[in-house]
Amino acid sequence: MRTSSVKYDEPQNTPDDYLLFNIVYCSQMRPGLGLTDVDAIVATSHRRNPILGITGLLTFGSEIFFQWIEGPKLEVLDLIKLIETDNRHENMVILSSDEEVRERIFPNWDMELVSADDIKEVLNDALRTARERGSIDALKLLLAKVERH
Ligand SMILES: Cc1cc2nc3c(=O)[nH]c(=O)nc-3n(C[C@H](O)[C@H](O)[C@H](O)COP(=O)(O)O)c2cc1C
């Protein structure tokens, strides 16, 4: 009879893998605002997100924001509450949210601004280097959403 409690067929998590919460939403920029406002949002994100352990990407094109935020659940939910009340955009729609143990999809991006033209290429690049099933599925979901919006 085997008594070993080690299960070799289970994925061995690296230190970077922990329960990650992610949210994807889209919204409309408030009329009258412009690229200076987007730059200010990105500057704030670069200042705050590393402190919160949040990474992700922000796409802006045709007055529409599309943002993927990943990090610890409480921090992501607190940030989403702030973003929801930000009057620089409106008609915010949460497209999906999920919590799972996996690597970060964008580990080095405090909040990268990606142009709408480049978003598919960025997601496909990430898909090519993603190792884990959860990340691959999340990226495929994002690509499908980008194609629909
Ligand atoms: C589309 C959009 C995306 C935003 N993304 C972030 C973000 O990733 N991180 C962040 O800290 N603030 C983000 N903000 C800004 C927040 O709504 C909020 O203004 C900011 O976090 C407040 O920071 P402060 O009180 O230090 O100025 C975003 C705002 C908008 C309109």
- 35-63 confidence digits (pLDDT tens): 999 999 999 999 999 999 999 999 998 88
Please state the atom number of ligand 1 nearest to the C-alpha of residue 47: 11
142-145's contacts with Cβ under 8 Å and 24+ in sequence apart are 142/24, 142/68, 145/24, 145/66, 145/95, 145/96
Give dist(CA 71, CA 102) in Å, integer: 11
57 close to ligand 1 (CB < 6 Angstrom): no
Any idea what the CATH number is for the domain that residue 138 is in?
3.30.70.100
Residue 27 lies in a domain: yes
Q: Which residues contact 57 (CB under 8 A, 6 or more apart)?
A: 67, 68, 106, 109, 111, 112, 113, 114, 119, 122
Contact predicate 25/84, CB 8 Å: no
User: Which residues span the domain enclosing 66?
Assistant: 18-148
Å from CA of 24 to ligand 1 middle: 15
pLDDT for 70 equals 95
Please state the atom number of ligand 1 nearest to the C-alpha of residue 48: 11
Give the residue, out of 86, 87, 90, 114, with the most ligand 1 atoms within 8 A of its beta carbon, to mutate for a pocket test: 86
Give dist(CA 13, CA 102) in Å, integer: 8
pLDDT for 57 equals 93
Å from CA of 117 to ligand 1 middle: 23
pLDDT for 11 equals 46
Residue 103 lies in a domain: yes
Residue 47 lies in a domain: yes
Number of folded domains that form the chain: 1
Å from CA of 53 to ligand 1 middle: 14
Residue 7 lies in a domain: no
What is the DSSP code (8-state) at residue 132? S
Residue 1 lies in a domain: no
Give pLDDT tens digits along the chain (149 positions).
444 444 444 444 444 557 899 998 889 999 999 999 999 999 999 999 999 999 999 999 888 899 999 999 999 999 999 999 999 999 988 888 888 877 888 888 899 999 888 888 888 887 888 777 877 887 888 788 778 76
Residue 9 lies in a domain: no
Residue 36 lies in a domain: yes
Residue 123 lies in a domain: yes
130 close to ligand 1 (CB < 6 Angstrom): no
Give dist(CA 7, CA 74) in Å, integer: 31
Give dist(CA 135, CA 38) in Å, integer: 27
